[in-house]
C-alpha cells in the first residue's frame, strides 16, 4: 500500500523517515509561469500535494493527494502548463455567482468552490447549467452567521486546496421589508450578510491568498451602480449614505442602536445600497493595506443590471414584471446573467485585469473600463472607519 502511494508521487515529493510526507516545489516551476502562460493553462496538471496521511491499522501510512501544489509543470512535450486555479465564489447558487462559476468551470482552467447556504439548491443549479462536475465543489457557507463563516474557512483549509481567487458575490436585498431582520449575531441582515459576513471571510482568507503561488491572486468584492451617487441609478431614492457610521458603531442591532449604518430609520433598499458602499470601500482599504505587501489584486465591479436574478425575489410582482423591460429598452443598462458571468469571470482570470484598487464597469460594446466611484464610495477616511468598526463587530479587534 505504502509502495503504491509512493509510486503515485511525482519526483518532487519525498517521504521522510518519520513517515511525514513533504511536498516541495522547485523554485523554477514556482516562478516560471509568465502571465502569457496563464492563458494557455491546462486542466491536467500532474503536480500533486500530499494533503494528509493516515496510519492504517497495519501500520501503513496512506497519503491523500490533491492536485494543485505547483503552478507550472512540464508536459511530455516540454511545454510549460499551469495548474487549475482555485476560486471561491460566494452565493454561486443563482444569478451572477452561478453564471460566473459556470463560465470559470467551463474553461477547464478553474476549480470553483461554490460557497452556498443551500447545498441542494447549489447542486441542482450547477447540474442545471451543465457545469463539469470535476471542476466544482460545493461547500456550506451562511454569511448571515459569523460562526458559519469561520467553519467554512476551517473546512476549506481542510480540503487542502490552494486559494487563488476569492469572489465576495452573495447578497440579499429586502426592498419591501417594513421591519429589519437580523443575522445570527444580531446585525441588520443586508449589511450583516453583504458586508460583515464577507468582511470576516475576506480577512480570514487573506492568509490563504497570500500563500498561493498562482501568478495572479485576486480578491474581488462585487459592488454596484446603485451605491454610487455620481450616477443616475444611484440617485434613485433612497440614496446610499453611511453618515458618520453611528448606527454601525452601535452594532446595527435595532435595540440600543439603529439597524441602519447612518443611525436613521430602517429602510431595506437603503440598507442594501449602504452595504454595497461598504463593499466598495472595503476593496479599496484592502488595496491600501495589502496590495504592495502581498501582490494580491483587489477589485470591485458593477457587472451591469442583471434584472432577472433572484436579487429581486422580495420585490413586488409588478416590479419584477416591469424591471427587465425597463432596463432593456429604457435605461439600456440590462445584461443577461450569462453576460454578467463572463464579465465577473474576466475580473477573476483575465491577464489584462490585474490592476488593483479598481472598480470595473463595461461599456455598451461590453469592453471593460476603470470606472469612477462616488465621493462617498471613494472616501479613504470613511473606508478606514468602516474597516475599524467592522473589525470590532466581527470580533477581529
Ligand atoms: P441572486 O439573488 O441571484 O444571488 C445572490 C446569491 O447570494 C444567492 O446564491 C443567494 O443564495 C446568496 N446568499 C444570500 N444570502 C446568503 C447567505 N446568508 N449566505 C450565503 N449566500 C447567501 O442575486 P444576484 O446574482 O443579482 O446578486 C449577486 C451579486 O451581484 C450581489 O452582490 C449583488 O449586489 C450584485 N449586483 C447585482 C445586480 C443585479 O442587477 N442583479 C447589479 C449589481 C450588482 P440562495 O440561492 O440560497 O438564495
Ligand atoms: Mg434603477 C441608467 C439608469 C439606470 C440603471 C443603470 C439602473 C440600474 N437604474 C437606472 C435608472 C433608474 N432606476 C430610474 C430612472 C429609476 C426610477 C424609475 C429606477 C428605479 C429603480 C428601482 C425602483 N432601479 C432599481 C430599483 C430597484 O429596486 C433596484 C435596486 O435599487 O436594487 C438595489 C434598481 C436597480 N437599478 C439599476 C440596478 C443595477 C438596480 C439593481 C441592483 C443593484 O444595484 O444591485
> How far is residue 55 CA from its own chain's centroid?
36
User: How far does the centroid of ligand 1 lie from the alpha carbon of residue 374, in Å?
Assistant: 23
pLDDT of residue 76: 56
CB 305 less than 6 A from any atom of ligand 2: yes
Looking at all shown ligands, the one closest to residue 193's CA atom is 1
Is the Cα torsion angle 232, 274, 368, 336 positive or negative in sign?
negative
Q: What is the mean pLDDT of residues 361-388?
A: 97
CA distances from 105 to 1, 76, 109 (A): 34, 25, 7
Per-chain mean pLDDT for the chain:
85
Rounded distance, CA 30 to CA 245, Å? 44
Provide the CA 113 distance to its chain's centre, in angstroms.
10
Task: Report pLDDT digits (tens) over 73-118.
Answer: 555 555 666 899 999 999 999 999 999 999 999 999 999 999 999 9
The mean pLDDT of 212-225, rounded to a whole number, is 97
For residue 175, how far is its CA from the centre of ligand 1 (angstroms)? 14
Expressed in angstroms and rounded, the spacing between residue 238 Cα and the centre of ligand 2 is: 11
CA-closest residue to ligand 2 atom 44: 226
- Strand ranges across the sheet with 218-222: 136-140, 110-116, 85-90, 165-168, 218-222, 297-301, 358-362, 368-370
Nearest residue to 241 via CA among 389, 375, 357: 375
- pLDDT number for residue 82: 81
Integer Cα distance of 282 and 265 in angstroms? 24
Torsion of CA 337, 117, 242, 368, to 10 degrees: -30
225 CA closest ligand 2 atom index: 44
Burial of residue 8, with CB atoms counted within 10 A of its CB: 0-12 exposed, 13-18 middle, 19 or more buried? exposed
Q: Is 272 in the pocket of ligand 2 (CB under 6 A)?
A: yes
pLDDT band at 10 (very low <50, low <70, confident <90, very high): very low
Reply yes or no on whether the pLDDT at 35 is more than 50.
Answer: no
Percent of the chain scored above 90 by pLDDT? Answer: 78
Residue closest by Cα to atom 39 of ligand 1: 306
Ligand showing the shortest atom-to-Cα distance for residue 228: 2
Give the residue-averaged pLDDT of 142-166: 98
Q: How confident is the model at residue 256 (pLDDT cuts 50, 70, 90)?
A: confident
Pairing of strands 110-116, 165-168: unpaired
Distances 161 to 87, 149, 155, 267, 389 between C-alpha atoms, Å = 10, 17, 10, 40, 31
Evaluate whether ipTM surpasses 0.95: yes
Q: How many residues belong to the chain?
A: 397
Q: pTM of the full predicted structure?
A: 0.86
- Which residues does a 6 A CB cutoff place in the pocket of ligand 1? 90-91, 93-97, 116-118, 121, 141-144, 169-172, 193, 222, 224, 276, 302-303, 305-307, 309-311
Q: What is d(CA 202, CA 390) in angstroms, rounded to the nearest whole number? A: 12
- Whether 48 has a pLDDT exceeding 60, the answer reads no
What pLDDT sits at residue 321? 98
Q: Would the pLDDT of 65 be above 50?
A: no
Residue located via cell numbers 469561520: 150
The region of weakest confidence among 48-62, 103-117, 172-186, 325-339 is: 48-62
What's the pLDDT at 78?
A: 54
Question: How far, in Å, from the CA of 205 to the mean position of ligand 1?
Answer: 20
225 lines ligand 2 (CB under 6 A): yes
309 touches ligand 2 (CB under 6 Å): no
Amino acid at each position: 500500500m505504502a509502495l503504491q502511494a509512493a509510486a503515485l508521487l511525482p519526483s518532487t515529493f519525498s517521504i521522510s523517515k518519520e513517515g511525514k510526507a513533504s511536498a516541495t516545489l522547485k523554485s523554477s516551476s514556482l516562478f516560471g509561469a509568465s502571465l502569457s502562460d496563464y492563458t494557455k493553462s491546462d486542466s491536467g496538471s500532474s503536480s500533486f500535494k500530499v494533503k494528509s496521511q493516515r496510519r492504517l491499522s497495519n501500520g501503513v501510512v496512506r497519503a491523500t493527494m490533491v492536485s494543485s501544489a505547483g503552478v507550472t509543470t512540464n508536459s511530455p512535450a516540454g511545454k510549460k502548463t499551469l495548474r487549475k486555479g482555485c476560486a471561491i465564489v460566494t452565493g454561486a447558487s443563482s444569478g451572477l455567482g452561478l453564471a460566473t462559476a459556470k463560465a470559470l468551470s467551463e474553461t477547464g482552467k478553474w476549480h470553483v468552490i461554490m460557497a452556498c447556504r443551500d447545498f441542494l439548491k447549489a447542486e441542482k443549479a450547477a447540474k442545471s447549467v451543465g457545469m463539469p462536475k470535476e471542476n466544482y465543489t460545493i461547500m456550506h457557507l451562511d454569511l448571515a452567521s459569523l460562526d458559519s463563516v469561520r467553519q467554512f474557512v476551517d473546512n476549506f483549509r481542510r480540503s487542502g486546496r490552494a486559494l487563488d481567487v476569492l469572489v465576495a458575490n452573495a447578497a440579499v436585498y429586502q426592498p419591501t421589508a417594513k421591519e429589519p431582520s437580523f443575522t445570527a449575531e444580531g446585525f441588520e441582515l443586508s449589511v450583516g450578510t453583504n458586508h460583515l459576513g464577507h468582511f470576516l471571510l475576506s480577512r480570514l482568507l487573506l492568509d490563504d491568498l497570500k500563500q498561493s503561488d498562482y501568478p495572479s491572486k485576486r480578491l474581488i468584492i462585487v459592488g454596484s451602480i446603485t451605491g454610487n451617487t455620481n450616477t443616475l441609478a444611484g440617485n434613485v431614492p433612497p440614496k446610499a449614505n453611511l453618515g458618520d457610521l453611528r448606527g454601525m458603531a452601535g452594532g446595527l442591532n435595532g435595540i440600543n442602536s439603529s439597524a441602519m449604518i447612518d443611525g436613521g430609520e430602517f429602510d431595506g433598499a437603503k440598507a442594501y445600497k449602504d452595504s454595497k458602499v461598504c463593499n466598495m470601500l472595503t476593496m479599496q482599504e484592502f488595496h491600501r493595506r495589502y496590495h504592495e505587501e502581498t501582490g494580491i489584486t483587489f477589485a470591485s465591479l458593477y457587472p451591469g443590471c442583471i434584472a432577472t436574478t433572484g436579487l429581486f425575489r422580495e420585490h413586488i410582482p409588478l416590479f419584477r414584471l416591469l424591471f427587465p423591460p425597463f432596463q432593456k429598452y429604457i435605461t439600456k443598462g440590462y445584461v443577461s446573467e450569462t453576460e454578467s458571468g463572463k464579465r465577473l469571470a474576466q475580473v477573476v482570470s483575465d491577464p489584462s485585469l490585474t490592476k488593483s484598487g479598481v472598480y470595473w464597469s463595461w461599456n455598451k460594446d461590453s469592453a471593460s473600463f476603470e470606472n469612477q466611484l462616488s465621493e462617498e464610495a471613494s472616501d479613504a477616511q470613511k473606508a478606514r472607519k468602516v474597516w475599524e468598526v467592522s473589525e470590532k463587530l466581527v470580533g477581529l479587534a
